[in-house]
Amino acid sequence: MNDRRPDDMVRITTAELADSYIEEQLKALREQIGDKKVLLALSGGVDSSVVAALLIKAIGDRLTCVHVNHGLLRKGEPEQVIEVFRNRMKANLIYVDATDRFLDKLAGVTDPEEKRKIIGGEFIEVFAEEARKLDSIEFLAQGTIWPDILESEAGIKAHHNAGGLPEDMKFELVEPVRILFKDEVRIVGERLGLPAGMVYRQPFPGPGLGVRCPGAITRERLEAVRESDAILREDFAKNGLEGKVWQYFTVVPDFKSTGVKDGRRTFDWPCIIRAINTTDVMEVTVEHLNDKLIDHLVQRIISEVPGINRVLFDYTPKPPATVEYE
């Protein structure tokens, strides 16, 4: 298997090129793995999903996928992972609902870095616990892609994929999309039969909705983030903005303001909508929404999401603002 992207490798832009990459990888995977078993942390993101689809084709049920629901996933995400991988692709999938574990550990924690550390640490712990229950697994598959390698070599980003597992857990790595760029991974995923919504989905941070529920996470406020995010995604899709706008989401900050509903005073949270475009995420511009869509989103969110009495739009570019709030 190639460790590095060959200088003369043709960019995968067509179905034919993707198909021949898939054929090559299936052969390489079967050679590397032989009759052994492989473990994969399957988040449902593009990269790990494509790795899963490739391995299911290459070695079938000798791949075990572990999907850890940390309780900070978007509405419908764990269900989609189960539907696509367990029901349709017949994958050997272990689904762990660790919501209570994560939310209990995060209770009262306000510092953003501390929150990230808890989420990352707990994730490794849950994954390692599941791995220990399995016998004779020799390989660990990862959705490392070529920009991860370039960025870690340039010192821009620590490449966390391989790190973190306890010392005594030693696996040989399997990285079948390691030499691909993101756009190539997407085409390969489509050719492997993954749904377009999974392959072309917007970026979503590892700590999930946790960074969109600033300050100490409570179940009520987290639910308001999840429900408002689902409404935003649904209406962006209906208005042809899905796949066009680079990233869009809602944030529910930890403060309340007065309002009035059905003749009664309310004291509820605001919901902030952020929709941005970028090529490299270093600089970001804001997607300007049309008035009709703005009015519609405000109406839906205040009437459908418990605990929200105001909708605000964040029209700040990066810099000075980052994409996420924490």
Binding site for ligand XMP (CB under 6 A): 116, 203, 205-207, 247, 281, 318, 322-324
Q: CB–CB of 39/141 below 8 Å?
A: yes
Nearer to ligand XMP by Cβ, of 86 and 318: the residue is 318
Q: CB–CB of 61/94 below 8 Å?
A: no
CB of 7 to ligand XMP, least distance (A): 29
Nearer to ligand XMP by Cβ, of 158 and 260: the residue is 158
CB of 147 to ligand XMP, least distance (A): 13
Nearer to ligand XMP by Cβ, of 178 and 274: the residue is 274
Nearer to ligand XMP by Cβ, of 6 and 155: the residue is 155
Question: What are residue 129's phi and psi, to 5 degrees?
Answer: -60, -40
For 121, residues 6+ apart whose C-beta sits below 8 A from its C-beta are: none
d(CA 4, CA 203) in angstroms, rounded, equals: 24
Comparing C-alpha atoms, which of 291, 271, 280 is closest to residue 323? 280
CB of 207 to ligand XMP, least distance (A): 5
Record the tokens describing residue 130, joined without a space: 């599941």
Record the tokens describing residue 321, joined without a space: 């603002």
How many other β-carbons are positioned within 10 Å of the β-carbon of residue 215?
17
Nearer to ligand XMP by Cβ, of 279 and 303: the residue is 279
CB of 42 to ligand XMP, least distance (A): 15
| Angle at which helices 182-191 and 15-33 cross, to 10° | 90
Nearer to ligand XMP by Cβ, of 76 and 317: the residue is 317
CB of 321 to ligand XMP, least distance (A): 8
CB of 326 to ligand XMP, least distance (A): 8
